[in-house]
Amino acid sequence: WEPATQNHLTLQGDYYRTKLHENTVVLSPAPPFSESVNLTDHDEGGNVVARWTHDFSDVSQLSVQAYYDHFSEQMANAAERHDTFDLDTQHRFPLGERNDIVWGLGYRYTHFDFPQSSLITFGSQTRNDQLFSAFVQDEITLVRDRLRVTLGSKLEHNDFTGVELQPSVRVAWTPCERNTIWAAVSRAVRTPSRAEDDVRILLPSPGGGYYGYFGDRSGQSEGLTAYELGWRTQPFQRFAFDLTAFYNQYDHLRLVTLGPPVPPSFPTFYSASILRGETYGAEAAASVNATDWWRLRVTYAFLRLVVDPDPRDFLGIGNFFEGDDPKHRVSLRSMMDLPGDVQFDVGVNFVDALRTTGISSYTTLDLRLAWRPTKNIEVSVVGQDLLDPQHAEFAPIFNPSPLAEVPRSVYAKLTLKF
């Protein structure tokens, strides 16, 4: 709703209810120690978002948003319910001719209700968590249309690890109209989940007996320091090229480590913030307008992840991390505007193998043919993953279950705009 040209009001809500039949492996302390069963989960939830935006001018804006979300889940061996309320405000305004400032405040309240079960318990059945946040960012124009520096930081206080500071510095240099070079250094964190914080899980052990898994109340947030360097050029009107390189340092990565046994001599495992690692890589993208009616885009991404070895990582979680992402990705997309208001798109993607879970590399082919008889109607036929009847993309690591593969699919779509 726009009651005036300066004000915009939005109210949006969703409700959903699902029933999920899942094939999974259930462990047992007695022979045959495990069996594949089909379990049914029930999920239900809803949310509502209200947002007010006021435009003071073309370069100054204030927005206030309130959000409520409800979620409940009933699983075979556990149940969960949580309610979240979130309030967020953001203000953008210029300061002089060189500074463009954005600042904001946020508050989030979450109520958890997790009924105790024979296998999964928490330190308390109910829990209330609060998150306070504030941020400020200043985009400074040092040389008009040539050099910009962006300084900013986010400050949070959460009930798991306390105060977290996440600063960022970004520089963009445009020596000429066809070239831009940019660099950035940023800090980000991932706070522990409730399961990592105070869960207690008792599971049957293959071969007999039980073992336990416990959260770590003294755990720290996983930290990331990211370094980025990029270049964008457009040497010709119909050709553009982007190249980005990055190096990321991680600390306090979570792993599962062995703890002292609990009576009667059950082995126990604990969540701990121990591991350190790094990733580095590059991404390249080229866009070509071969003709007025034919466009091509090619992208390539390289990623390498290394985790520092630690003697407490007896499960080899560092090795899981290193082999759970593809090193190489290649994508080619062709988009054609044919006579008679017909569009024909072709997409080819290559994804490298995942060493941890034994997923082989794969190549996919997607096709789309669309016809727009009027500006308000579009009819399209889409084929996805056409090269193979089915292929695997991911596999579970810690929770054994039958492998699910992505099948070949074809569908038709009709879009009407009023």
Q: Whole-angstrom Cα distance, residue 368 to residue 333? A: 11
Instruction: Please answer whether residues 151 and 137 qualify as being in contact, where contact means their C-beta atoms are separated by less than 8 angstroms.
Output: yes
The pTM of this model reads 0.85
Sign of torsion over alpha carbons 17, 21, 25, 29: positive
Under DSSP, the state recorded for 47 is E
**Local confidence pLDDT in tens for the 418 residues of the chain:** 888 789 999 999 999 999 988 777 666 666 666 677 778 888 999 999 999 999 999 999 999 999 999 999 987 667 889 999 999 999 999 999 999 999 999 999 999 998 877 778 888 889 999 999 999 999 999 999 999 999 999 999 999 999 999 999 999 999 999 999 999 999 999 998 888 888 888 777 766 667 788 888 877 899 999 999 999 999 999 999 999 999 999 999 988 888 777 666 677 888 888 899 999 999 999 999 999 999 999 999 999 999 998 888 877 788 878 888 999 999 999 999 999 999 999 999 999 999 888 899 999 999 999 999 999 999 999 999 999 999 999 887 666 667 789 999 999 999 999 8
Closest by alpha carbon to 325, among 407, 272, 393, 223?
A: 393
Under DSSP, the state recorded for 119 is S
Q: Whole-angstrom Cα distance, residue 122 to residue 126? A: 9
Under DSSP, the state recorded for 402 is P
